[in-house]
Structure 1
Amino acid sequence: MLRRSARILQKVVSDGESKRGILLSPNLKWEVRRDESSKQFFIKMGSDKATVEYETLNGVIELQETNVPPAFQGKGIGKILAQGVFDYCVKHNLKMKLNCSFLQKFYEDNYKRYQKYVVE
């Protein structure tokens, strides 16, 4: 049943149909990507996109704003995106400055894992 629900959701997201009332399956794998030209990390969801905007200054990635489309808010997409961005910075040994309150909250909840990568 859960796999069927995930396939239905994936079809709905892919087809760009109404997303009202969508429940996201924990089995879905959302891929976080980086687009250096637009200075965004993002998750593509059909015609929608959740983003974290950033600037790079003096070797530090300043994470500025998180945006999740209204139809996907409150469903964990922001947390998946935040974790993907933080894990990308860890993997590439990048320092982060958090200018976004959502990302600051994610960091507070995951302080031990990411503390050596966050600067003031």
Structure 2
Amino acid sequence: MNEVRDNRAEQEFTLEVDGERAVAAYQLYGDEIVFTHTVVPPAIEGRGVGSRLIRVALDSARDRGLKVVPQCPFVADFIRKHPGYRDLVA
């Protein structure tokens, strides 16, 4: 699988798989990162693409000392299922 990229200019994490692009969009406000929505194209759903994308995004937030606001239901659900990330929630 390809590498997750943080496109800071567009404020989105992206992951390309089989020519399809999954996106986790965010907005930065001071020391908070607000995840607004996640899109995984139907052609690559069910393969862990969204989870991989969000895991890297949350690890990046931790590395940057950012608090997370999980506006996106997918991100909120991921954090609920992975308690190791709950400390990031603003």
Common fold, TM-score beyond 0.5?
yes
2:39 counterpart of 1:67: yes
Tell me the number of residue pairs that the alignment of Structure 1 and Structure 2 aligns. Answer: 90
State the 1:71 CA deviation. Answer: 0.2
- Considering Cα pairs closer than 8 Å and 6+ residues apart, tell me whether 1 or 2 has the greater RCO: 2
Q: Distance in 2 between matches of 1:51 and 1:105?
A: 16
Q: Distance in 2 between matches of 1:53 and 1:93?
A: 18
Q: Distance in 1 between matches of 2:38 and 2:76?
A: 11
State the 1:46 CA deviation. Answer: 4.7
Q: Distance in 2 between matches of 1:75 and 1:48?
A: 13
2:9 counterpart of 1:41: no
2:74 counterpart of 1:102: yes
Residue equivalent to 2:50: 78
Decide which structure has greater strand share.
2
Contact 2:80 2:86 in 1 (8 A): no
Could you list the runs of 4 or more consecutive aligned residues of structure 1 that deviate by over 4 angstroms after TM superposition? none
TM superposition score normalised by structure 1: 0.69
Percent of pairs with identical residues = 27
Residue equivalent to 1:118: 89
TM superposition score normalised by structure 2: 0.90
Q: Distance in 2 between matches of 1:53 and 1:59?
A: 16
For structure 2, the 5+ residue unaligned runs are none
